Structure 1
């Protein structure tokens, strides 16, 4: 029986949480906090030392220095975004976007992507240099930096001035917005996913590959906030086969772009895939033991469970969280587009999430920047402008974003 993610199951099919390993359950009980916490979307991210972070907002004319009075802050829908402590995240909405046909006519000939490229290319260069110099990596891993584009919504939260009382008019000082904590919500609507599949890709044209993979994340007893990720596929006997082992992906730089005249926001991110090169035979044996003992079960969140007592390896590793990803991958010579449905479960806190996500790997730019040869910024800038124009044409002009 093939796996069916939670958001595609019939309503009468039971969805039971995965059993929490005993050691994790005790830790969860000790650390339970009913007054606040993070949404799963804001799970801990490992960032490089001196990592780069920038936020831009862009209208039809390009990046803007001031937010237009027509742009308001509104809380996200309570039906589609979970939060704790009762505080809703907020997003920017342009109330004066106008009729779609009028908007197209007004923006014809204008190039907001050129402005974004000019402001982002320097940060992308610096982030790749940061990755290649190995800051924060250590000497026991192979580093593979990548530039990707993510699609969703920039959310603002955490600043005292961003209360619902102060938002009656939707106006907040720009300085307050810039000081606010931000996250990027990547769970997109089904209509957006269908638009990407049926429209954009028909115009772009590329080869297609489908895959069904599981990621098992292991935490080390000596490093509870550092993870080893195990990419796995399923054998005919419904057991996992270990395909690849990595350590924490390291975020080197992020440029978030609030697209005020579009329904979708953009994140440009440089991150480093890190492959360990010095695992001992005992470490590899313990990792394989945990992967081999996993049971594929479509009725639990994350799609995997472990028999009682087999979710840890006797003091070295324990299962932290799992992902089940159903991917459709589209490839061309310059990019790789991944449209995926994700089913995740976190054993540490006993919660899960299902999400639809779109990831565009800017393969051509990544290959140019990760090499050892000197690269002219102008050539990378031209490639980035072309990539952003394609993104504006095919990834941001979509159905309204549903929160």
Structure 2
């Protein structure tokens, strides 16, 4: 049966299921003991973590564009005057509302005229001047902190994403205010850590993806690259071996991690781990077949080294620039490989469940070390030129840990030209700055103008 994305299904199949009544305490205890049974002699097994991995020294900050200094200090007017003003407004976001019971907030500005937003050239220069020094430093930390291993292929990946920067109440329960945001911006400028509770929401309307495919791809002179459907099976690996020599905040305190298997449907309709050919080394060319090797596509968690979120106040969408390390396993231990293949082959493809996959009772884990923690079903189209790859993706996700799912449409630019340059021993700053400015301008002019507002 062909996959039917949730937004195209009959309403009866996409309606939210009613929240079930909680099981009795005795049943809850039994289920908990089954799912978290302690390995003999080793104490209780910890719960799978869903934390994003940040490398030690990772810079993660937020700023508005234009800067706060261009707005009145009280900043909460109705925008009827000549000067632009700022305000925080509730933003409808069902996944967050389901978790917190409240709408997150988005920063918006009144715009009395087009000229108040500044020119594209000024915006691009501001972003590049701020981001590039930290990018170079983060790339050097990433390369210095990793010792090459034969079983792993490690790549730096610089991406730009579009969406909305959303704010939530602080961890101590205090509400978000314009003064809170001003303090967070100042902390980012000073290189200190703020307590700002934010997230970058990447879901855009499906019409946005259609419009980008039909118009933006032509404006950006991109050529069609590929169109694929994948299932991503997220497997929690308890007592995982040391993954790398990164000093990770996450791996530093617990010996578990998450592996992601990219899967496809084979000819007989069953799921199997996708095989991919990648360069044997970080510097090998993808066009040189003699330097390529095929293996199943299994990856460790990505590691973030730099995250720059920008609220683009006179655009419809906001911008995230992010540097990560991708860690692809070229060889697998026999125990790990057999476990992953067993978990994947046990999956039942079901378009009527979130994530598109389900497992028969008892088949979603193997022993005390491997268990399914999430699934994604993705369909995407990719377009590219020599320096940039655009991916328009529809993703249907389900998290087994929280029993929650989410469907999203996402726009991601992989800055492949800059990623390759950053791998060099001594990347040339002037050429990198030109490449960064060119990429940011392309995104600024073409990808941030789709209306998505509260």
* Corresponding residue of 1:245: 298
Within the alignment, does 1:304 sit opposite 2:378 as a pair? no
Shift of 1:106: 7.0
Q: Distance in 2 between matches of 1:293 and 1:381?
A: 48
**Structure 2 unaligned residues grouped into runs of 5+:** 18-27, 37-48, 76-84, 186-193, 241-254, 275-296
* Corresponding residue of 2:437: 385
Detail structure 1 runs of 4+ shifted over 6 Å in the superposition: 14-17, 27-30, 136-139
* Corresponding residue of 2:286: none
More deviation in 171-180 or 233-242?
171-180
Contact 1:238–1:295, Cα closer than 8 Å, also in 2: no
Shift of 1:91: 1.1
Q: Distance in 2 between matches of 1:139 and 1:154?
A: 39
Q: CA RMSD in A?
A: 3.0
Specify which of 93, 97, 103 is matched with residue 111 of structure 2: 97
* Corresponding residue of 1:230: 261
Contact 1:302–1:344, Cα closer than 8 Å, also in 2: yes
Shift of 1:190: 2.7
Shift of 1:311: 1.2
Shift of 1:109: 6.7
**Structure 1 unaligned residues grouped into runs of 5+:** 31-41
* Structure 2 CA distance for partners of 1:115 and 1:105, relative to 1, 3 Å: closer
- What TM-score comes out, normalization by structure 1 length? 0.84
Shift of 1:104: 6.5
Aligned residue runs from structure 1 range 4-403, under 5 A:
4-13=4-13, 26=32, 44-59=51-66, 63=67, 65=69, 67-68=71-72, 69=75, 70-77=85-92, 81-94=96-109, 96-98=110-112, 102-103=113-114, 107-108=118-119, 110-134=121-145, 141-159=152-170, 163=175, 174-175=182-183, 179-208=195-224, 209-222=226-239, 226-243=257-274, 244-277=297-330, 279-372=332-425, 374-398=426-450, 400-403=451-454
Secondary structure of 1:51's aligned partner:
strand
* Structure 2 CA distance for partners of 1:306 and 1:75, relative to 1, 3 Å: same
Contact 2:257–2:301, Cα closer than 8 Å, also in 1: yes
Alignment coverage as a number of residue pairs: 375
Shift of 1:236: 2.4
* Corresponding residue of 2:80: none
* Largest Rg, 1 or 2: 2
* Structure 2 CA distance for partners of 1:4 and 1:109, relative to 1, 3 Å: closer
Which of structures 1 and 2 has the larger relative contact order (alpha carbons within 8 angstroms, sep 6+)? 1
Q: Distance in 1 between matches of 2:227 and 2:121?
A: 37
Shift of 1:113: 1.0
Shift of 1:79: 5.4
* Corresponding residue of 2:280: none
- What TM-score comes out, normalization by structure 2 length? 0.75
Contact 1:327–1:338, Cα closer than 8 Å, also in 2: yes
* Structure 2 CA distance for partners of 1:241 and 1:58, relative to 1, 3 Å: same
Contact 1:71–1:260, Cα closer than 8 Å, also in 2: no
Contact 1:146–1:361, Cα closer than 8 Å, also in 2: yes
